[in-house]
Structure 1
Amino acid sequence: MSNPQLPLHLHHIPASPLVLGCMRFGGEWDGLPITDNLVYEGHQAVEAALEIGINHYDLADIYTRGKAEHVFGRILAESAGLREQIIIQSKCGIRLVGDDDGPQRYDSSGSHILASVDGILQRLGVDYLDILLLHRPDPLAHPQEIAEALAKLHHSGKVRHFGVSNMGSEQIRLLQSYSNVPFIVNQLEMSLDKIGFVEAGVTVNRPQALHNVFPYGTMEFCQSEHIQLQAWGALAQGRFTGRVVDGQRPEIEATAQIVERMAKERGITSEAIVLAWLMKHPAGIQPIIGSIRPERIRACKDAVQTELTRYEWYELYSASCGRRM
């Protein structure tokens, strides 16, 4: 069975199965100015992504303290017609230390959401976002206030679609109960290293469930509500694709060896195997590639066409969790 069609298509968004994460655009998280070299690096990353069919780009207002969006805006300005070819999503809701007089905190107040979107659009140099995500769950958020802000953004045309990041099913359900605009994305950390999304279901009624922090029922809820699950950290920071893993837990090394073997057997890259493992899940997970290196981006191109067998999927899962089923 081939990978399922992405739920985003149900919302008339022709999204590619893979997303390029732009967190590293703009260099360091400092106040230094953006150089031409940083813009060139961004161009190279976007060109590599386009080469392998990626049309979906993920940003956030805090990435490199706003420089990521500035760099992406430069790329758009220097690439005629690119804006119309791609899907841009960004996030808001985190205030960093140094941004104002307060502590680092989450802020999903209506006023902050509205001001954040204006800043995002200005830095990108665009009139609208395809998708806006609320970056983290704010314990002081008022659902009605959020709903009113999102309605204003939608009505004004500044944001076409909405979603969340790092939220469980009940948090999404609460927000949706107040909002007339649907939440169509939930972005969570999921990878062959961060397997909590699988463990949440597999360990039901077993002692291992006590140690899993992934919110139980979230995968099932998102599937039933046609909410696209996106995986940040999908490549697990290279732990299974060539990064030195000495000193890490033995399951990492064992899993990396299996990934390498499967890649050699198919004549493809280890990156393709790691992403194909995620995409095998029936929820139709959309992995985010968080690299700015063109060769690393291109190494992911075969993931969409790679279909692991049930045996291979469980072999990798068992190696990663370090126990038999």
Structure 2
Amino acid sequence: MLGLSLYKEEGNRLKTTPLTAWHKEHGAKMMEFGGYDMPVEYQGIIQEHEAVRHAVGMFDVSHMAEFLIEGEESPRFLDYLVTNTPSQLEIGQALYTPMCYPHGGTVDDLLIYRMAPEKFLMVVNAANHDKDWTWIVEQAQNYPNVQLIDVSDETALIAVQGPLAKELIQPLTSTNLDALDYYHAVFDVPVNNINVHLSRTGYTGEDGFELYVKADQALGLWEKLYELGVKPVGLGARDTLRLEARLPLYGHELSEDISPLEAGLGIFVKFDKSDFIGREALWNQKATGLTRKIVGLTLDGGIARSGYAVSDAQGNLIGVITSGSYSPTLKKPIALALVESSHAKTGQHFLVMIRNRAVPALSVKTPFYRRPM
């Protein structure tokens, strides 16, 4: 059921996207991410970060995985599979949702688009492709009228993000982008004479669009955007942008051992719908009270990284850093940490162990950055 793959993996070699050669030809520093050879930066993380915050940048996120879920039982199946309510989506609408194990831990966090009454597109994290696919196929065994199709190999994804994103893309399409609301999409529309699925979504905290395109047409679209002055941006700036916006990264703020409630994503867990995987465990977690929560920190004197220990002001171990970096927008180090709930209040003083040195930190409201409206 799959199309011819334009992604390659030979032995232990990393997979590539249709744009990998372009990245290397244009001087990108490459790194492994989710099993793919991906650009981490071109001219510098701070420059690329600021381009997205103040103008426009584009990301090759073709490593993400896409699954089609179709059939008359697909709305009911998806409501059972994830914590949010895909069955309530209008055609052309998207939602963000965690997908949980029975014990309440997170399989993945993902996007779901409703393309037709009985057709949905699910977009999952690259590193979780195989795990997610196996999990979803297993859960679908009791839904004989659901069809699953993995279209990852034939799909490329370009994210154009920043306050000038609409201005740059609008001349390339007859679709009225002003009429396309946030978390909505149009399907099979021409952009630069190439059919794409065009959605007003992103992972940066800025306005922007994500363009799903056939893999063999991605390079032409990418080069057109580059010709128009859209700056290519690597995964380094993607991480600092999402961290400032307090957007979770699977394997850090969410994992098999971290529930959506602990990650502060309770708004995406709909207890008022019919049964879903993990409901009982999550309800019990909510009813008895969370023992740990994700908090935002600013640091004075060092950059925290995932896994660093977090202590209270008296030196008692109370948690761990899940993500940390220097914030180009705030001009200071920031981090997210999973800490004991009794310490998860704004204004709390902490100590973060950075190379055997206790660095002062303060818990603050998140997101660290919110774009001007």
Q: Normalising to structure 2: TM-score of the pair?
A: 0.25
Question: Which TM-score applies when normalising by structure 1?
Answer: 0.27
The structure whose residues are more often helix, as a share, is 1
Q: Which has the larger radius of gyration?
A: 2
